Amino acid sequence: MKHSCQHLCDRFQVAMGVLAKPWNGLIIATLEEGALRFGEIGERLDAISDRMLSSRLKELEALGLVVRRVLPGPPVRVEYELTGAGRGFGEVAQAISRWGELLAESAARGGGAKGGARAARRGPAAKRARPRPAPARKDA
């Protein structure tokens, strides 16, 4: 099911549709280094399975973001490279990195979702009223 937000530009939603799929942004960012063979991409993204990588590369190729090139052998080799549209992600990746820095700094200051925002809603008294764990007993 496709989601649509009327207040957001269609082009923004298309781009987010690509980035919302797991691994797509990481694959595109990895290919920013230049043409890579399947195994080289897999080595750089060591947690991705071969099946998932293959699937995502096919999708990105169908979207016109990646080109698959067969190099004559022996052995025959296949490499993947970003198209002009795919290379357009470089600026987006830099912007996401800058935003990631801000998120990391905010979390380090306690402003992350796990601490700062909830604590601020509860107020300082609620923070002090939390039960503390009992000290470990020394029964020897």
How does pLDDT run across 32-91, given as a tens digit for each residue?
Answer: 999 999 999 999 998 999 999 999 999 999 999 999 999 998 898 999 999 999 999 999
Residue appearing with tokens 């781009």: 15
Q: Give the end-to-end CA distance of the chain in Å, rounded to a whole number.
A: 62
| Residue 23: pLDDT over 80 | yes
With 0-12 / 13-18 / 19 or more C-beta atoms within 10 angstroms meaning exposed / middle / buried, residue 133 is: exposed
Per-residue model confidence (pLDDT) at position 73: 84
Distances (CA, A) of 114 to 59, 101, 117, 120, 122: 35, 17, 7, 11, 13
- Within 8 A by CB and 6+ apart from 69, the residues are 35, 78, 79, 80, 81
Q: Which residue has the higher pLDDT, 45 or 118?
A: 45
Q: Is the pLDDT of residue 118 over 80?
A: no
What average pLDDT does the chain have? 83
Model confidence at 105: pLDDT above 90: yes
Query: At residue 130, does pLDDT exceed 50?
Result: no
Q: Which of 72, 73, 58, 70 is nearest to 27 (CA)?
A: 58
Q: What does the pLDDT look like over 12-22, one tens digit per residue?
A: 888 899 999 99
Query: What is the average pLDDT across 115-124?
Result: 45
Distance CA 126, CA 139 (A): 33
pLDDT of amino acid 11? 87
Share of the chain above pLDDT 70, in %: 76
Strand runs labelled E in the chain: 36-37, 66-71, 77-82
Q: CB under 8 Å to 115, separation ≥6 — which residues? A: 107
